[in-house]
C-alpha cells in the first residue's frame, strides 16, 4: 500500500488529520498504516519537534502505541464529523474517545528558528504519550463546536474522499485542491465538451450544393 503525500490543504487541522486516509482513484491510501507516516504527519503539521520525533523513532513500541491512539482518534473524529454534516446526534463512543485524548492535553509551545525564519511548534510534556495527539483532538473539538456544518464537505471529484472546510467567501469551493482534483475535473470537462462537439458535427446532415 503506498502512502499518500503529506497534504495540508483541508483548511482545518482536524480535516487534514482525516485526510491522512484517502481513496484517490478508488485505491485506499493510509498514512497511518505505519508509525513513520504518523510521525511525518505530526512533524509536517508542526505538532512535534524534531527531538521528540527522534525519541519516538528510537522506540518502535512507543511509536506503535502512539499510532494505535492516532488510529482510534481518527476513527472517532471521522464518525463525529460525519454526524455533524448529516445533522445526526453525536455518537457517544467517539465522543468519549476525543475526550480521552483531550484529557492528555499538556501541550506547550516552543518557538524554533531556522535559516528560513521562525515556526511555532507544539510540545508535549511527555512526547511518548497520547499528549502529542491532544492538539488534534482539540482541533476536532473546535471544528465540531465552531464550524458551519454546511461548510464541512468532501471533494466533489469522483473517487476522492478528501475533506475540506470551505472558507471561500461565496461558499462554493468544490475541490480538495485545485492542483489535484480541480484541474483534473477541468481537463475532463474540456475533453467531454470536445467530444460532444465532434459528435454533433458528425451527426449534422451534409450540406448539398445547389444544382
Ligand atoms: Zn479531491
Mean local confidence (pLDDT), 83-103: 94
How much of the chain exceeds pLDDT 90, in percent?
49
Strands 108-114 and 117-123: antiparallel
Q: What residue spans define the domains of the chain?
A: 13-174
Q: Which residues keep their CB under 5 angstroms from ion ligand 1? A: 155, 157, 160, 162, 176, 181
Residue 22 alpha carbon to ligand 1 centre in Å? 9
| pLDDT, tens digit (0-9, with 9 covering 90-100), for 50-73 | 778 888 888 899 899 999 999 999
pTM for the full model? Answer: 0.80
Distance, CA 158 to ligand 1 centroid (Å)? Answer: 8
What is the average pLDDT value for the chain, to the nearest integer? 85
* 204 Cα: distance to centroid of ligand 1 (angstroms): 37
- Decide: 52 and 123 in contact? Cβ < 8 Å: yes
CA of 27 to the centre of ligand 1 (A): 13
pLDDT in the model for residue 126: 55
pLDDT tens, position by position, 162-176: 999 999 999 999 999
Q: Residue 149 corresponds to which cell in the numbers above?
A: 456544518
Quote the ligand 1 centre to 7 CA distance (angstroms): 11
Phi, psi values for residue 167, rounded to 5°: -105, 10
Domain 13-174 CATH assignment equals 1.10.3300.10: yes
The secondary structure element, H or E, covering residue 65 is helix 60-86
Choice between 93 and 109, residue whose per-residue pLDDT is larger: 93
Amino acid at each position: 500500500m503506498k502512502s499518500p503525500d503529506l497534504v495540508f490543504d483541508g483548511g482545518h487541522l482536524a480535516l487534514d488529520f482525516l485526510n491522512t486516509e484517502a481513496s484517490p482513484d478508488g485505491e485506499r491510501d493510509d498514512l497511518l498504516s505505519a508509525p513513520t507516516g504518523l510521525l511525518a504527519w505530526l512533524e509536517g503539521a508542526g505538532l512535534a519537534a524534531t527531538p521528540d520525533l527522534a525519541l519516538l523513532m528510537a522506540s518502535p513500541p512507543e511509536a506503535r502505541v502512539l499510532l494505535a491512539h492516532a488510529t482510534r482518534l481518527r476513527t472517532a473524529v471521522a464518525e463525529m464529523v460525519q454526524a455533524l454534516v448529516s445533522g445526526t446526534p453525536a455518537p457517544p463512543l467517539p465522543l468519549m474517545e476525543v475526550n480521552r485524548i483531550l484529557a492528555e492535553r499538556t501541550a506547550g509551545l516552543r518557538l524554533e528558528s531556522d535559516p528560513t525564519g521562525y515556526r511555532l511548534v507544539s510540545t508535549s510534556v511527555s512526547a511518548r504519550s497520547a499528549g502529542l495527539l491532544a492538539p488534534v483532538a482539540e482541533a476536532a473539538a473546535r471544528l465540531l463546536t465552531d464550524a458551519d456544518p454546511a461548510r464541512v464537505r468532501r471533494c466533489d471529484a469522483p473517487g476522492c474522499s478528501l475533506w475540506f472546510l470551505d472558507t471561500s467567501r461565496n461558499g462554493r469551493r468544490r475541490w480538495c485542491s485545485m492542483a489535484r482534483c480541480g484541474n483534473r475535473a477541468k481537463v475532463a470537462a474540456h475533453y467531454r465538451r470536445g467530444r460532444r462537439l465532434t459528435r454533433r458535427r458528425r451527426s449534422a446532415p451534409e450540406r448539398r450544393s445547389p444544382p
